[in-house]
Structure 1
């Protein structure tokens, strides 16, 4: 069964080049082309491609916004970003939007075909330059969480550890020999300092960062 591909790029020459080469592949079927993100979203809803080859910088709607909308309306459609930009400001928003792959336009044609096939199989394909940005971003996220943990007082860390054990405020109060009202105050402070929504998130955070 052939892989249905939609090509999205505002440059006519790029679209023609991609179409010309991909049409030589027996297992790839070009089902359309779009010149901007808005067109891409409409065509995805109409034709349901397996893979969208998406440029980033385009008029009307850019590739990041289009990727986000496509993943909302057609979650099974895979998006491969194909662009000239490899900097973090372009990479991270595209990955966050739901792109399965991110490649640069200097990619060899045969390699591009291999990437399309991999993405269709459900694999993630990132250019080496791009992968390093993603890893740095993840590391910075981890580092930030650790810094937040350092803002907790010794008592707040003790309360957080008790939350991770599934204890109620009453049980925590008895365990730490403090009043229930004090526990409530500590819980509120913990959620605020760690930017967490509820006790469940606090418990998961504790398991991850307190080594419980």
Structure 2
């Protein structure tokens, strides 16, 4: 007999958590391992409980879902993440996928679709609710093809600096992270500005994030 799918629910709304528990109670091969009310708690419990799947809201007070997804990649890499949220805008969808979520569905999804998503993502598949899948298809259909590596004119060292720059880190911190001198970092930043055709750090950060670097 297969082991039950152990699930952690992370949502700040008690009534929604109650609804998810009721739905999971109809799925004999699942069990609720625990509940979290914010992202920080979700990361802590995932490290302690080692669930197979987390049902995670993106926007919670006291620790947001996106930060939690990024941290979970280190704390509980074996745990799959299904985002269950009210937000279906492109920024939320693609930020969650880049951070490491395997599925994305909306809170008003009907029970059959939610059960299918929970089962699929819990067993390592990627799945999206129909409305989200439609947005993903539309998004890529209207974008020109992108090179495999963003900004191919940058050197590997410049890419490393740009990645830290995109996180909002100052030059001194970047120098420490990469074990470089402050002058070297300034030179890399200047080269990045020139190659990206931007005039400020803010513009460089926007360009980097648009390309999926963060």
Q: What is the DSSP-based 3-state SS (H/G/I as helix, E as strand, rest coil) of the residue aligned with 2:81?
A: strand
Mark the structure with the bigger radius of gyration.
Answer: 1
Q: What is the DSSP-based 3-state SS (H/G/I as helix, E as strand, rest coil) of the residue aligned with 1:102?
A: strand
In the alignment, structure 1 residue 71 sits paired with structure 2 residue 106: no
Cα displacement string for residues 81-139 of structure 1 (whole angstroms, at most 9, x for unaligned residues): 00111110111110011000000111112321221111122210112332244345556
Taking structure 1 as the reference length, what is the TM-score of the superposition? 0.65
Equivalent of 1:31 in 30, 33, 58: 33
What corresponds to 1:131 in structure 2? 133
Deviation of 1:64 (Å): 0.9
In the alignment, structure 1 residue 120 sits paired with structure 2 residue 122: yes
Cα displacement string for residues 167-208 of structure 1 (whole angstroms, at most 9, x for unaligned residues): xxxxxxxxxxxxxxxxxxxxxx9xx859xxxxxxxxxxxxxx
RMSD (Å) for aligned C-alpha atoms: 2.6
Equivalent of 1:14 in 13, 16, 34: 16
Whether the aligned pair in 2 keeps the contact of 1:102 and 1:126 (CA below 8 Å) is yes
Equivalent pairs counted in the alignment come to: 153
Mapping 1:82-97, distance limit 5 Å: 82-97=84-99
Cα gap change, 1:56 to 1:42, in 2 (>3 Å): same
Cα gap change, 1:24 to 1:97, in 2 (>3 Å): same
Unaligned runs of 5+ in 2: 154-190, 197-214
User: Which structure has more helix as a fraction of its residues?
Assistant: 1
Taking structure 2 as the reference length, what is the TM-score of the superposition? 0.64
Whether the aligned pair in 2 keeps the contact of 1:92 and 1:133 (CA below 8 Å) is no
